[in-house]
Amino acid sequence: MSRGNTRVTDAVRTEACPVTEVLDRVAGKWSIGILTAAAHGPVRFTELERAINGISRRMLSLNLRRLERDGLLIRTVHPTVPPKVEYSLTPMAQELHASLTGLVSWAERHRSAIAEARATYDTAAARELDAG
Amino acid sequence: MSRGNTRVTDAVRTEACPVTEVLDRVAGKWSIGILTAAAHGPVRFTELERAINGISRRMLSLNLRRLERDGLLIRTVHPTVPPKVEYSLTPMAQELHASLTGLVSWAERHRSAIAEARATYDTAAARELDAG
DNA sequence: CTGAATCCTTCAGGATACTG
DNA sequence: CAGTATCCTGAAGGATTCAG
């Protein structure tokens, strides 16, 4: 999520708006996908890369670091050759994943309704352009 | 939800698509705040502007349009002078708001744990820099 | 295999000014 | 009151390359 030229520090912002703090954990194009992909046990880097359709190696790495930093992911390095690194959710993240499941469920249930609403809205706007 | 010997790849691909759609509706700095602020009945534009700390008039307007387009907000114009416009959640959005409440609750419960994890992570990184 | 480093583009979002 | 229009910045994210 872009914050533009906001001058407010993170500390002040999160204190003022806890809602934003939630979003920051889940924000970004890939966080939910990573959390979902890692929810059912230890997963290797390459497995995640293959599982999450369209993610770049860079973004996967960046997001894994951020999630690990926030205490949502456990990173386990097996000192073998070739290296083997596994990621899994912390208990805290497991809870988060449960909430996210609710979101996913909502999206599945209303996906077509949203598409329809959007189409209706757009045709209405187009008609106004014709009329005006 | 697949478990056990189901391969991660298959489990995630089927979820990753709606996941992206969810995120698109909730993405952005203000969507959750707007949905939360409008959840308890019709709210006027200026009321939202005051309720949501730090939002600009432009972003409020843009997000209201987007939410309305997706069928999450109802926009009611009262042809009075001065103009009066009220926003309220559609039933679909009410359900979404229920899920979002879970997210907010999660954030409140684990906020300090996240801050602590972050501090630990950062000090560990700093120590490695010193050692190296 | 698991990354980190670098460069580059896109776009959300802030500041500001204007309008019915 | 409830917006729209314009300009601009900074962060997200993609592509590519290098490394342990």
pLDDT at residue A19, as a whole number: 72
Contact B16 A114 (CB under 8 A): no
CA dist A92 to A82, A101, B101, B110, Å? 31, 15, 17, 7
User: In sequence order, which ranges of chain A are alpha helices (DSSP H)?
Assistant: 10-16, 18-26, 31-37, 45-51, 57-69, 91-131
Distance of C1' in C7 from CA in A58, Å: 13
Q: How confident is the model at residue B128 (pLDDT cuts 50, 70, 90)?
A: confident
Straight-line distance from the first to the last Cα atom of chain A, in angstroms, rounded to the nearest whole number: 36
Asked if residue B87 lies in contact with residue B45, where contact means CB atoms within 8 angstroms, the answer is yes
Its sign, for the CA torsion A113, A118, A124, A130, is: negative
Phi, psi of A73 (to 5 degrees): -125, 145
pLDDT at residue A132, as a whole number: 60
Which nucleotide across the nucleic acid strands is nearest to B56, CA versus C1'?
C14
Angle at the Cα of B102 from the Cα atoms of B100 and B106, rounded to 5 degrees: 115
Which nucleotide across the nucleic acid strands is nearest to A77, CA versus C1'?
C2
Q: What is the pLDDT of residues B67-107, one digit of tens each?
A: 999 999 999 999 999 999 999 999 999 999 999 999 989 98
Which nucleotide across the nucleic acid strands is nearest to B64, CA versus C1'?
D3
Picking from B71, B98, B102, the nearest residue to A113 by CB comes out as B71
Nearest to A39 by CA among A87, A103, A107, A105: A87
CB contacts of B29 in chain A (<8 Å) are: 1, 3, 20, 23
CB contacts of A40 in chain B (<8 Å) are: 1-3, 8, 11
Nucleic strand D near CB of residue B45 (< 7 Å): yes
Q: Which residues contact A35 (CB under 8 A, 6 or more apart)?
A: A67, A72, A89, A93, A96, A97, A100
How far apart are alpha carbons A63 and B45 in whole angstroms?
A: 36
Q: How confident is the model at residue A17 (pLDDT cuts 50, 70, 90)?
A: low
Domain A3-131 - what CATH class? mainly alpha
Contact A106 B96 (CB under 8 A): yes
Q: Which helix (H) or strand (E) holds A73?
A: strand A73-78
pLDDT at residue A3, as a whole number: 42
Cα B92 → chain centroid: 15
Residue A44 has pLDDT above 70, yes or no: yes
Q: How many CA atoms lie within 13 A of B62 on its CB side?
A: 8
Q: What is the pLDDT of residues A82-116, one digit of tens each?
A: 999 999 999 999 999 999 999 889 988 999 999 99
Residue B10 has pLDDT above 80, yes or no: no
Nearest to A31 by CA among A7, A59, A5: A59
Nucleic strand C near CB of residue A65 (< 7 Å): yes
How far apart are alpha carbons B93 and B73 in whole angstroms?
A: 7
